[in-house]
Amino acid sequence: MIQSRGDATMSAVRSGLDILRDPLRNKGTAFSEHERDKWGLHGLLPPVIASLDEQVARRLQAYRNFPNDFDRYVFLRGLQDSNEILFYALLSRHLEEMLPVVYTPTVGLGCQSFSEHFWKPRGIFLSYPHKDRMVEILSSPRFDDVEVIVVTDGERVLGLGDQGAGGMGISIGKLALYTACGGINPAKTLPLFLDVGTDNPERLADPLYVGWRHERVRGEEYDAFIEAFVEAVRQRWPNALLQWEDFARHNATRLLDKYRDRLCTFNDDVQGTAVVAAGTLLATGNVTGIPIKDQKIVVLGAGGAGCGISALLLRAMIEDGLSEAEARSRFYLVDRNGLLVEGMPELLPFQEPFVQPRDVAGQWQLDRAGFVGLADVVRNVRPTTLIGVSGQPGGFPEQVVRDMASGVERPVIFPLSNPNSRAEATPADILAWTDGRAVVGVGSPFPPAPVGDRLKRIDQTNNSYVFPGIGLGAMSVKARRISDGMLMAAARALASVSPTSSDKDGNLLPPVNELRQVSLRVAEAVARQAIAEGLASATTDDLNLTIENNMWHPGYASI
């Protein structure tokens, strides 16, 4: 179903140049003879009249001629800012090829060099010096149709740390996937950056830096700024979905807990990562024969992502028959201070549900007295699953992986940190160290790895498998909140489309080029759960048809 902005928005057009400068109206060489007459475009364009297919072919050739992915990223961002229909037609038709460029890992480079390549505004920059003008800035009529917002403060961009205003690249990239994978109309999306300064000395010293050149605002001033922002969003867009992205560990879960019952919101780093990890892990049961309730899970990295994954898997275990106490006993979370145990100093509130008894390692032989590290846990617990969200390259050394593989026939090992340079281990190494027996999932794309005499596609447990569908489902029923039940429904929907359901030797996840179909299944599950929990503000007699009709497809409309 092709959708575009309505005729009402055309009243704002003053000339053909206005159309050419608007990425959602611009067709480039695809303007018809009649449209060129009507809007005075003759002379502003070459005489050829091209179809969208021809334009895609021309842009694809240009894309493939670039020598590296970063140049391709800059090219695609320029295309998005000049002709959004063409950008999404190109991206959606070549999603498997281009996903690693518009999102992880290349988007990280884009964020690091954001100021260097900034040339055209997209979205909203809310800077701390303008905190008293927030409502005024958000009130512009051009944002009236917004239904999905991705917001960041740029403090923890992927595994790259504080990138300041460069974090806007993440908001833009996420929303590109909402559209390409989930069919969200780009006219209804808004990337947003909360500029509260940066503590990155390279950014502060960069004369080209486009952000507020100031150290980060923290404490009560920061919280007041966030509160004002949330209230402004709630008033301006009461039915919008707000996604938090790449906030620092000490803020991510805290802000989510504070605001998740005040508006329709979720944190993709905490909850989206949890959903895709849980859904993929549920699918591993088809391969290993071990159901989720019988798993023993070790997680390296006990921040928001690690605890978020554990919380959703805990819920799945309880739903599948374990008591809460039994389920909690099956999680071993390891952070920079070692295994989380009762009474450990500096425990954060979201970590406390996953502490082990203080004396859990009383009979273990430890590599270092008084410190229970990952190697100690793996050697003594003999886990079935090992998950990495630590951002520490080499976090899964060879001996740890071999020790794990000695205790289970099909070890499940997910080094999920991204970009690739931050992964705890490479898939090729994991498969080599386990004689090809490991079931591997990664956070960023890796090339196929050898297993015996063949190459195996490595499953990228990327959040793009779930967050577009979560957003589409919530939008379709105008959900008031994103509940844990809706997230669990999304995870189980993802597991249900695993190729391993019919082929235990298959991949855990469908190929990337099927992400639109995956998003549709996830959206249906999320919407039905929202209705079941009484969180939907709108209902429909044919939910599937409603969701399908809400999916936007790139195509030119007559103007």
Residue-wise pLDDT tens digits, 133-172: 999 999 999 999 999 999 999 999 987 899 999 999 999 9
What's the token pair of residue 527?
A: 């919407």
Residue 519 inside a domain? The answer is no
Query: Residues 375, 450: one domain?
Result: yes
Q: Among 103, 259, 332, 556, which one carries the catalytic annotation?
A: 103
- Domain check: are 259 and 285 in the same one? no
pLDDT reported for residue 416: 94
pLDDT of residue 444: 83
Inter-residue contact 87 to 80 (CB < 8 Å): yes
Largest CA distance in the chain: 84
166 in a structural domain: yes
Q: What's residue 14's pLDDT?
A: 66
List the catalytic residue out of 27, 174, 188, 478.
Answer: 174
In this structure, are 119 and 154 located in the same domain? yes
190 and 283 assigned to the same domain = no
Residue 69 forms part of a structural domain:
no
pLDDT given at position 128 = 98
* 277 within 8 A of 308, measured Cβ to Cβ: no
Tell me: do 276 and 408 sit in the same domain.
yes
Which residue from 259, 261, 285, 256 is spatially nearest to 273, judged by alpha carbons?
256
Q: Are residues 302 and 251 in the same domain?
A: no
Domain residue limits at 173: 93-263
Please report whether residue 66 resides in a domain. no
User: Half-sphere exposure (CA, 13 Å, Cβ side) for 503?
Assistant: 7
Q: Are residues 368 and 241 in the same domain?
A: no
- The CATH number covering residue 190 comes to 3.40.50.10380
User: Residue 334: what pLDDT?
Assistant: 97
Q: What is the pLDDT of residue 539?
A: 80
Distance (Å, rounded) from C-alpha 183 to C-alpha 557? 17
Last residue of a domain, which of 464, 490, 524? Answer: 464
Report yes or no on 5 lying in a domain. no
Last residue in a domain, options 439, 464, 489: 464
* In a domain? residue 559: no
Query: Which residues of the chain, if any, have pLDDT below 70?
Result: 1-14
- Looking at the structure of the chain, the number of domains it has is 2
CB atoms within 10 A of CB 304: 28
Strands lying side by side in the sheet with 338-339: 338-339, 331-335, 297-300, 385-388, 412-415, 439-442, 459-460
Cis-peptide, bond into residue 448, ω within 30° of zero: no
- Encode pLDDT of 426-460 as tens digits: 999 999 999 999 999 998 889 999 888 889 899 99
Active site residue 103: yes
Is 188 a residue of the active site?
A: no
pTM above 0.85, yes or no: yes
Domain contains 196 = yes
